[in-house]
Amino acid sequence: MIPPFSTKHYQSYSTPPEAVAPLIPYLRKKNIRTIWEPAAGDGFLANWLRKQGFNVIATDLSQGIDFLKTNLTTLYDAIITNPPFNQRTHFLRRSYYLGKPFCLLMPLLINTELASLVKQHGIELFILSRRIRFIKDKKRMDRSPFNVAWFCRGVLPKQLIIV
C-alpha cells in the first residue's frame, strides 16, 4: 500500500540543467520526443527539456495530478523526473508498472524495497560523478545533500554509465 502523499511533506529540490544535460544524447538516440515530467514543481526540468526541443507534459501533485494514481491519457515516449525523495521507491514502482522508458533522478541511497524492485525488473544507472547543486526555493543550494544518479529503463545502451 502506498502511503499518503501530501504537498505538506513535498520535498522539492528542482533539477538544474547540468543534471540532465549528459542524458540528452541518449534520449535523442532512442528517438524520445514527448516526455511526461510528473513531478514538475516549479518547472525547471520541464522548461529546460523544452529548450532542448522536447515536447514536455508537465504535471505535479500541486496541480492535483498524482503520478502514483494518474493514468495519463496523452501519448508520451518516456517519463523523466526528479521525484520527491520520500516517494522515490513509489515512483520507481509506478514507472515499472507503466511500462514506458524512464529516467528518475534519485539519490544513490538504496533501501531494501528499492533494491528488490531493481533486482526484479532491472535498471540502467547513469551516475553523475559530481554532486549536483539543486535549486531550493528558487535559489541554487551551496552544496548538495547527497550524490544522485539517473535510474533508467529502456534509455541507456548499457546498465552502467558514469560521467
Cell reading at 31: 528517438
Strands of the chain, DSSP E: 34-37, 55-58, 78-81, 102-107, 124-127, 135-136, 139-140, 148-153, 160-162
Q: What domains, with CATH codes, occur in the chain?
A: 7-162 (3.40.50.150)
What pLDDT is stored for residue 73 in this prediction?
83
What pLDDT is stored for residue 7 in this prediction?
39
What pLDDT is stored for residue 17 in this prediction?
73
* Residue 72 three-state SS: coil
What pLDDT is stored for residue 111 in this prediction?
86
What pLDDT is stored for residue 109 in this prediction?
82
What pLDDT is stored for residue 140 in this prediction?
63
* Residue 79 three-state SS: strand
Residues whose CB falls within 8 Å of the CB of residue 80, separated by 6 or more in sequence, listed in order: 20, 23, 27, 35, 36, 37, 45, 49, 102, 103
Q: At which residue does the C-alpha cell 500541486 appear?
A: 62
Task: Give pTM, 2 decimals.
Answer: 0.87
Q: How many CB atoms lie within 10 A of CB 111?
A: 10
What pLDDT is stored for residue 2 in this prediction?
38
DSSP lists the bridge partners of residue 103 as 80, 152
First-residue to last-residue Cα distance in the chain:
36
Residues whose CB falls within 8 Å of the CB of residue 152, separated by 6 or more in sequence, listed in order: 101, 102, 103, 104, 123, 124, 125, 126
Residues whose CB falls within 8 Å of the CB of residue 84, separated by 6 or more in sequence, listed in order: 5, 10, 11, 12, 39, 91
Per residue in 91-123, pLDDT (tens digit) is 999 999 999 999 999 988 888 999 999 999 999
Low-confidence ranges of the chain (pLDDT < 70): 1-13, 133-135, 137-145
